[in-house]
Amino acid sequence: MHVIYGGTFDPIHHGHLRLALEVGDSLGVERVDLVPCHIPPHRGDTGAGAEQRLELIRLAIDGESALGLDERELRRAGASYTADTLRQLRSELGRDEPLVMVVGTDAFAAFDRWREWRDIPELAHIVVVRRPGADLAPGSEAQRLVRERQAQSPQALWQQPSGLVLELDPPLLEISATGIRQCIADGRSPRYLTPDAVWQRIQALGLYGACPDRRV
């Protein structure tokens, strides 16, 4: 089974890292690959450039064998559409290997606005992680997909290559990249929200309004 977890990761934080470990444990896989967006299709400019976000992820997962980094979206020009990423992976993995994408309910709520979203369940399973305050709207396409394709257990995802939606409700850390960017812009330290190595590099690069001369 191949598991990917996509995001803007602007910047990566302990909420992302913890979630990836929780999902990997629940599914029984050895590794979850983080897939940073190059150009997010759905939001404005990022605070840090693609290569900078990538560098921060490398620092965050250094020495952690349960987390990997898949750089394919950064190597592709233009907006990073998930359907393109899954299609590429499917052709590499062959048609029988289970492929899983992980997404929080905040991002999945707008699933029917993703490019070629109807193709995605044919390419991969979807693990939807329930995030507090981001329930799927009743009657939405996202909720319909969860109902119609619901997997009864993580084991079910091992039995077929794609097509199921598994809801997970692991303990989550209430951390957001927006909160971290705001904290730094306000001149406060985001320590303990993101790995120390990430925060040190953010300061050294002066990202998100961090002042390189005033290390905290």
Positions touching ligand NCN (CB under 6 A) are: 6-8, 37, 40-43, 80-83, 103, 107, 114-115
Residue 16 C-beta: closest distance to ligand NCN, Å: 10
Q: Which of 29, 34, 175, 184 binds ligand ATP (CB under 6 A)?
A: 175
Residue 135 C-beta: closest distance to ligand ATP, Å: 13
State yes or no: residue 177 binds ligand ATP (CB under 6 A).
Answer: yes
The SS3 of residue 115 is coil
Residue 213 C-beta: closest distance to ligand ATP, Å: 26
Binding mask 28-67 for ligand ATP (x = CB under 6 A): ----------------------------------------
Give me 14's structure tokens: 């302990």
In the numeric block, the tokens 């850390």 are attached to 173
Q: Which of 2, 15, 99, 166 binds ligand ATP (CB under 6 A)?
A: 15
How many angstroms separate the CA atoms of 188 and 183, rounded? 5
Helices 196-205 and 50-61 pack at an angle, to 10 degrees, of 150
> Rounded to the nearest 5 degrees, what angle is found at the Cα of 187, between the Cα atoms of 191 and 176?
50
State yes or no: residue 114 binds ligand ATP (CB under 6 A).
Answer: no
Q: Which of 35, 59, 103, 146 binds ligand ATP (CB under 6 A)?
A: 103
Q: Which does 41 bind (CB under 5 to 8 A by kind): ligand ATP, ligand NCN, none?
A: ligand NCN
Determine how β-strand 32-36 pairs with β-strand 2-7.
parallel
Residue 159 C-beta: closest distance to ligand NCN, Å: 25
How many angstroms separate the CA atoms of 204 and 216, rounded? 11
Q: 142-177 burial, b if ≥16 CB within 10 A, otherwise e? A: bbebbeeeebeebeebeeebbebbbeeeeeeeebeb
Residue 71 C-beta: closest distance to ligand ATP, Å: 16
How many angstroms separate the CA atoms of 216 and 212, rounded? 10
- The stretches of 119-164 forming alpha helices (DSSP H) are 120-123, 141-148
Residue 212 C-beta: closest distance to ligand NCN, Å: 27
Note the residues at the interface with ligand ATP (CB under 6 A).
Answer: 7-10, 15-16, 19, 103-104, 106-107, 129, 131, 172-173, 175-178
